[in-house]
Amino acid sequence: MSTTANQKAGFGSTLWEYLTTVDHKKIAILYLIGGLFFFLLGGLQAMLIRIQLISPDNEFISAQFYNELMTMHGTTMIFLAAMPLLFALMNAVLPLQIGARDVAFPFVNALGFWLFFFGGIFLNVSWFAGGAPDVGWTAYAPLSIFSEGHGVDYYAIGLQISGFGTLMAGINFIVTVINMRAPGMSFMRMPLFTWTSFIASVLILFAFPALTVGLFLLTFDRLFGGNFFDPEMGGNVIIWEHLFWIFGHPEVYILILPAFGVFSEIIPTFSKKRLFGYSSMVFATVLIAFLGFMVWAHHMFTVGLGPIANSIFAVATMAIAVPTGIKIFNWLFTMWGGNIRLTSPMVFALAFIPTFTIGGITGVMLASAAADFQYHDSYFVVAHFHYVIVGGVVLGIFAGLIYWWPKMFGTMLNEKLNHWFFWLFFIGFNLTFFVQHFLGLMGMPRRYWKFLPDQGLDLFNLISTIGAFFMAAGTIVFLYNVIVTQLKGEKVSGDPWDARTLEWGIPSPPPFYNFKQEPLVRGLDPLWVEKRQGNGKIQPAEPLGDIHMPNNSFAPFMLSLGLFIAAFGVVYQGSMWVLAAIGFAITAGSMLYRSMKDDLGYHIHKEDLEKEGDGSNG
Amino acid sequence: MADDMLKSGNLPENPERATLEGRNKFLGFWFFLGGETVLFASLFGTYLALRNSTVDGPSSQELFGLGLVFLMTVILLTSSLTSVYAMYHMKNNDFKKMQLWLGITVVLGLAFLGLEIYEFVHYVHDYEFGYTTSAFSTAFYTLVGFHGAHVAFGLAWIISLMVRNAKRGLNLYNAPKFYVASLYWHFIDVVWVFIFTVVYLMGVVL
Amino acid sequence: MVNTNSSNQKKHFYKKKHRDQMKHQVLTFAMMIAFTIIAFGLAMADVSPMFTVPIILILAAVQVLFQLYYFMHMNEEGHQWPSVMIYSGIFAAFLTILALTTIVWW
């Protein structure tokens, strides 16, 4: 597995390399491909929804298909697009930012990807097996209990499998940040993207188990005759809502915090100033995470939990606006007096600030429990969460992808096309969702298959659909850009943006061992410190020596494949239990293989390293 | 360096944390247990919300016999102590004694699991208290069953570690594995402490 | 020979240290068994549940702390991060149980 072999690999060996890789940079590319695939799928579903709602009383698709589409759009975008795309960025960048040669658990990292992948595929098999889930992405009981067919079974088990993967990825990043930092990289010198990914991973650790249990209860109720959510047998449907939102609300912060981190990298780089209020940014991140665990019931104001509970959760929700506001002002002050370059990632960042602020303001509006009775389940809510998730997370993901694309692939996306992508997407986004605020205030409920004519809803729905086409066009421009750029394959230097953090101090794409010598970190924004006070190159913290690397393994793929096969057995039962037995046997066998076999990795020898470049960005 | 990992004998003071891999495993597993805390909390919360929803089925007062539960508790607590002994001998670099104490732990764990299975069978046959009888029964079997599944997994884990390393002794490569498995076993005990208190004792009292 | 001597001394020192620790562990175990007996005794005795329930919950909490701090060695150095994460987990667990026992809208 030397670097020369990599350059001339045929298709078969490249495929095998990616199926067995434990290299975080390759796993990042896998997450990117998987995440983009599901992003396009979710986008396609959104387009069908918007086409159905282009005019009143439309018969473009059936009501049942509409329900399946809106369920799968939400589920896909949250679990199978946004999360993996963020994991792509984390895998690509986080270890490099802290000067690590690898993540803490390379094997588990690979396993996390394959579990996500097979879980997502399993969920989407439902389209071809009698219908996708049709109960909304929140799958509220008792609707989800009594939903016919196997759609919801696919939902519960598919998300369960990919949820395991997410949990593993989260633990991996927490330990990586704690144990693998380079000499001098203290916690308060970590780049903000690393900080926010770290905190998001902590949230994953504590939020996902609630979803795990919720999905198990749903599975047991549907497939094994359990009574958790069946009121006739003494069950209680509110338990599902609590478990879902105990997970679901931190999930929102799991998504948005890394996006905050991306912008906290981009804004200083293109303002040529260090981040304003670094320590308050860190503090605000931790505070958001802490408060984020105490607000979930604001999704349940209309359930009837009583005025005391509603008040507590309303106040806690509003409190989150404080640390978020701190962040907004810190970004503005970073730009203040800076030498601003309007590159495309910076344009994304500039657009993000007002867009996200609008989403935040409607968030505070929704947090007033009394007013929420009016907004609840209307298009106002749809507009709100698309402003934070598209205007925050999606803009963050694309800004991050464009910003780190050179680091991931060694090529540079065409800036002109990036700007085209931005303007099409941004204008389309505002057209689509800004008017939905008013649709909601006019009383249009969300998740409805059609609306009636002459109720004042026609025009805004038409505008909304037109906006969706703009967004689709923008996405196509981005994809075109990616294909053209990769086909051209024009290489750029290791530091094309004149950036500040450690990952830009090494070649692009980085060698598979990342750092030839462990870097010595001499301050916040280490590369910038060296550019100002040194020779512009990261100083080594150790003499050149052998580097220890982990071995590739096929076990993560097999382990996940086993669960994928077993899942069919669990859903269909009867004679299909054979499948479950085979699947679980494959999984158990892979686990056993992994623990029985000594895997000590291998060493790259000093002599081989000497032949390669000096390991700097030059 | 790689060969040193598999050499047994002459280990440092804390062999489980002597290598970077070991330190990673150690932290990662503790964090996993932090997540497991929330997992079991969700199950406990569900159980507490449904504990009185017996519909027509038997209630907790009619079902639970404290004698059996006390026996199970003492067995599991003892197995926790024996795995402490195993780790004590690991730190003293005495592989044989470590294996012995792990073996005792496994036997106690098997006894616990056997009693739990007996208990479930007893409820199903003598009280017609099945998984689908009521919301209470579903919640009870799910919570206690999740714990039982953890016990079973822990047993499989410890046994496979013992068998795999039987002939080669303790080294820096497997010491973290043994240590982490023992942490898992203690955590199972932590959960049981709450199960016997919240499910059984409160089930009899309230 | 000086070298082996000092390493022998070190070994001896650690052995003694481990033995002392083990004494604590056995003591901890004895207390856990005692707590268990008290808890079962209270549950079987004819005492008001208003009294019994808080007491057995406190006994359980103390037992768990014993497990964490002694059996799982959380009292030793190098356990700051495990403590942070376990207490964060307990915090999230507490909120979860509180919600599911109080606001499930009967």
DSSP A535-548: SSSPEESS-S--EE
| pLDDT, tens digit, 9 for 90 and up, residues A393-429 | 999 999 999 999 999 999 999 999 999 999 999 999 9
Residue pairs between chains A and C whose CB atoms are closer than 8 Å: 39
Q: What percent of chain A has pLDDT over 70?
A: 98
Chains touching A (at least 3 CB pairs under 8 A) are B, C
CA–CA separation, A207 and A248 (whole Å): 8
Contact A535, A527 (CB under 8 A): no
CA–CA separation, A275 and A530 (whole Å): 17
- Find the CATH number of the domain harbouring A313: 1.20.210.10
Give the residue-averaged pLDDT of A157-181.
97
Quick check: is A174 in a domain?
yes
- Using CA atoms in the order A164, A165, A169, A172, what is the torsion angle rounded to 10 degrees? 60
- Is pLDDT at A8 greater than 80 in this prediction? no
Quick check: is A188 in a domain?
yes
Instruction: Determine the residue among B5, B23, B32, B38 to mutate to test chain A binding: the one whose Cβ has the most chain A Cβ atoms within 10 Å.
Output: B38
Query: To the nearest whole number, what is the mean pLDDT of chain A?
Result: 95
Give the start-end residues of each E strand in A443-522.
Answer: 519-520
Which element (helix H / strand E) includes A331?
A: helix A321-335
CB contact under 8 A, C92 and B41: yes
Residues of chain B that touch chain A, judged by Cβ-Cβ distance less than 8 Å: 1-2, 5-6, 20, 23-24, 27-28, 31-32, 34-36, 38-39, 42-43, 45-46, 49-50, 53-55, 131-132, 134-139, 142, 160-161, 164, 173, 177
| pLDDT, tens digit, 9 for 90 and up, residues A91-107 | 999 999 999 999 999 99
Chains touching B (at least 3 CB pairs under 8 A) are A, C
The per-residue b/e assignment along B93-121, b for 16 or more CB within 10 angstroms, e otherwise, is: bbbeebbebbebbbebbbbbbebbeebbe
Paired sense of beta strands A547-549 and A539-540, if any: unpaired
C20 with C57, same domain: the answer is yes
Q: What one-letter code names the amino acid at A483?
A: I
Instruction: Determine the residue among C84, C91, C97, C104 to mutate to test chain A binding: the one whose Cβ has the most chain A Cβ atoms within 10 Å.
Output: C104
In terms of residue numbers, what domain contains C85? 76-106
Per DSSP, A503 falls in state G
Bridge partner residues of A491 (DSSP): A411
| pLDDT, tens digit, 9 for 90 and up, residues A450-474 | 999 999 999 999 999 999 999 999 9
B10 vs A226: which has the higher pLDDT: A226
Give the residue-averaged pLDDT of A329-356.
97
In terms of residue numbers, what domain contains A209? 24-531+539-553+599-611
Q: How many domains does chain A have?
A: 1
3-state helix, strand, coil in chain A (%, to 5): 70, 0, 25
**pLDDT category, A390, cuts 50, 70, 90?**
very high
Instruction: Give just the sign of the alpha carbon dihedral B80, B81, B87, B90.
Output: negative
CB contact under 8 A, B161 and A595: yes
Residue of B nearest to A174 (CA): B28
C24 with C69, same domain: the answer is yes
Task: State residue B15's pLDDT score.
Answer: 85
ipTM for the predicted complex comes to 0.95
CB contact under 8 A, C104 and A205: no
- Is pLDDT at C51 greater than 80 in this prediction? yes
**pLDDT category, A599, cuts 50, 70, 90?**
confident
Q: How many Cα neighbours within 13 Å face the side chain of A565?
A: 17
Residue ranges in chain B whose pLDDT is less than 50: 1-2
C39 with C17, same domain: the answer is yes
B66-206 CATH: 1.20.120.80
C104 with C60, same domain: the answer is no
Contact B163, B13 (CB under 8 A): no
DSSP B14-72: SGGGSSHHHHHHHHHHHHHHHHHHHHHHHHHHHHHHHTT--TTS--HHHH--HHHHHHH
C88 with C62, same domain: the answer is no
**Using a CB-CB distance cutoff of 8 angstroms, which residues of chain A are in contact with residue C89?**
205-206
C58 with C85, same domain: the answer is no
- Is pLDDT at A1 greater than 50 in this prediction? no
Task: State residue B18's pLDDT score.
Answer: 87
Out of A294, A304, A305, the one facing C95 most closely (by C-beta) is A294
CB contact under 8 A, B31 and A213: no
- Is pLDDT at A520 greater than 70 in this prediction? yes
Query: To the nearest whole number, what is the mean pLDDT of chain C?
Result: 89
Task: State residue B102's pLDDT score.
Answer: 97
Instruction: Give just the sign of the alpha carbon dihedral A263, A266, A271, A276.
Output: positive
Quick check: is A591 in a domain?
no
| pLDDT, tens digit, 9 for 90 and up, residues A174-199 | 999 999 999 999 999 999 999 999 99
| pLDDT, tens digit, 9 for 90 and up, residues C2-24 | 456 666 777 788 888 888 888 98
Q: How far is CA A318 from CA A312, A315, A365, A367, A376, in A?
A: 10, 5, 9, 6, 17
- Three-class SS of residue A457? coil
CA–CA separation, A407 and A301 (whole Å): 45
Give the distance, in angstroms, between the CA of residue A397 and the centroid of all CA atoms in the same chain.
8
CA–CA separation, B28 and B188 (whole Å): 17
| pLDDT, tens digit, 9 for 90 and up, residues A283-300 | 999 999 999 999 999 999
Give the residue-averaged pLDDT of A112-120.
97
C60 with C99, same domain: the answer is no
Residue of C nearest to A171 (CA): C85
Q: How many domains does chain C have?
A: 2
C68 with C91, same domain: the answer is no
**pLDDT category, A618, cuts 50, 70, 90?**
low
CB-count burial class (<10 Å; 0-12, 13-18, 19+) for A173: buried
Per DSSP, A127 falls in state G
Quick check: is A313 in a domain?
yes
Contact A174, C82 (CB under 8 A): no
Other C-beta atoms within 10 Å of A290: how many?
15
Other C-beta atoms within 10 Å of A479: how many?
13
